[in-house]
Chains A and B, each alone.
Chain A
Amino acid sequence: MKYLLSIFIVLLATGCAPMMAPVSGPQPPPPIPPTPPPQSDESGGVQGDVIVPSNPAPERASNSAVSQLVEDAWRYNRAGDYDRSNAVVERALRINHTDPEIYLVMASNYFAMTQLQLAEQLVRQGLPLAGSNSVVKRDLQRLLSQIISVK
Chain B
Amino acid sequence: MAKTRGRNKKRGKRKAAPRWRWIKRLFWLSVAVGLLSLLALDAVVYQKFTGKKWSLPSHVYSRALELYEGAPLSREQLMWELDGLGYRRVAAAKASGQYSVSSRRVEVFSRGFEFWDGEEPARLMTLSFTGDSVSGLVDAGRTEIPLVRLEPMIIGGIYPAQKEDRELVQLGQLPSTLVGALVAVEDQGFYRHHGVSFRGISRAFVANVKQGKMAQGGSTLTQQLVKNFYLNQQRTLTRKALEAVMAILLEVHFSKDDILETYFNEVYLGQSGDLAIHGFGLASRYYFQRPVEELELHQVALLVGLVKGASYYNPWRHSERSQQRRNLVLDVMAQQGVIEAKQAEEAKRKPLGVVSSSARGGRWQYPAYLDLVKRQLREDYQASDLETEGLRVFTHFDPQVQRKLERRMVSRIESLETGYRIADGKLEGASVVVRVGAGEVLAVAGGRQPGYAGFNRALNARRPMGSTIKPAVYMTALERPASYTLSTQIEDTPISVGTEGGDVWQPRNFGRKSHGLIPLYEGLGYSYNQATARLGMNVGLPAIINTVKRLGYQGELPELPSLMLGAVAMSPLEVAQLYHTIAANGFYSPLRAINSVFTAENVPLKRYPFEAEQRFDPAVMHLIQYALQVVLREGTGKSAYKRLPQDLVLAGKTGTTNDQRDSWFAGFSGNYLSVVWMGRDDNGKTPLTGGTGALQLWTDVMSELDNRSLVFNQPEGISYHWVETDTGLLGRKGCAGSRYLPFIDGSEPVDAGRCVPEPLENVVDWLKDKLGW
Contacts and interface: CB of A to CB of B under 8 A. Distances in A.
A95 B332 CA distance: 53
A41 B742 CA distance: 17
Interface in B739-773: 739-740, 742, 752, 756, 759-767, 769, 771
Contacts of B715: 128
A37 interface: yes
Interface in B19-40: none
Given A38-B740, A52-B740, A84 B766 contact: no
B710 A30 contact: no
A3 B761 contact: yes
B711 interface: yes
B709 A45 contact: yes
Interface string A1-18: 001001100100000000
A131 interface: yes
Given A97-B437, A98-B437, A128-B585, A35 B722 contact: yes
Given A32-B756, A95-B66, A45 B647 contact: yes
A114 interface: no
Interface in A82-113: 83-84, 86-88, 90-91, 93-95, 97-98, 106
B614 A54 contact: no
Interface in A37-93: 37-38, 41, 43-46, 49-56, 62-65, 67-69, 76, 83-84, 86-88, 90-91, 93
Interface string B642-669: 0000111100000000000000000000
B378 interface: no
Contact of B708 (A43, A53, A83): A43
Query: Interface residues of B toward A: which range?
Result: 35 or more
Contacts of A68: 146-147
B551 interface: no
B708 A64 contact: no
B713 A90 contact: no
A36 interface: yes
Interface in B711-752: 711-716, 718, 720, 722, 732-733, 739-740, 742, 752
Interface in B115-171: 115-118, 146-147
Given A53-B712, A95-B68, A118-B611, A90 B146 contact: no
B139 to A, nearest CB: 14
Given A86-B609, A93-B610, A30 B759 contact: yes
B438 A90 contact: yes
Given A68-B146, A128-B618, A44 B710 contact: yes
A64 B438 contact: no
Contacts of A90: 438, 609-610
Contact of A53 (B116, B585, B630, B742): B742
Contact of B117 (A6, A50, A84): A84
Interface in B42-84: 66, 68-71
Interface string B604-615: 000101111110
Given A53-B712, A64-B69, A43 B671 contact: no
Given A37-B740, A68-B147, A94-B435, A7 B763 contact: yes
A51 B629 contact: yes
A125 interface: yes
B612 A125 contact: yes
A53 B622 contact: yes
B770 to A, nearest CB: 9
Contacts of B629: 51
A3 B612 CA distance: 56
Among A7, A88, A95, A106, the one with the most B-chain Cβ atoms within 10 Å of its Cβ is: A95
A54 B759 contact: no
B579 interface: no
Nearest to B769: A36
A46 B709 CA distance: 11
Nearest to B117: A87
Interface in B613-628: 613-614, 618, 622, 626
Contact of A46 (B118, B633, B711, B713): B633
Nearest to B398: A94
B288 interface: no
A45 B716 contact: no
B670 A98 contact: yes
A30 B762 contact: yes
Nearest to A10: B767
B711 A54 contact: yes
A44 B649 contact: yes
A41 B646 CA distance: 13
A52 B587 CA distance: 22
Interface string B562-601: 0000000000000000000000110100000000100000
B749 to A, nearest CB: 12
A33 B766 contact: yes
Contact of B740 (A3, A50, A63, A88): A50
A33 B730 CA distance: 13
A29 B610 contact: no
Contacts of A54: 649, 709, 711-714
A88 B762 CA distance: 54
B245 to A, nearest CB: 52
B367 to A, nearest CB: 25
A51 B630 contact: yes
A122 interface: yes
A146 interface: no
Contacts of B243: none
B470 to A, nearest CB: 18
Contact of A30 (B612, B740, B752, B763): B763
Q: 3 closest pairs, A vs B, by CB?
A: A97-B437, A65-B68, A43-B709
Given A35-B732, A86-B607, 9 more contacts: A3-B760, A7-B764, A86-B609, A93-B438, A94-B435, A121-B614, A124-B614, A125-B584, A125-B614
11 contacts: A37-B720, A44-B709, A45-B712, A53-B712, A54-B709, A87-B117, A88-B117, A90-B438, A93-B610, A121-B587, A128-B713
Interface of B: 66, 68-71, 115-118, 146-147, 435-438, 440, 584-585, 587, 596, 607, 609-614, 618, 622, 626, 629-630, 633-634, 646-649, 670-671, 708-716, 718, 720, 722, 732-733, 739-740, 742, 752, 756, 759-767, 769, 771
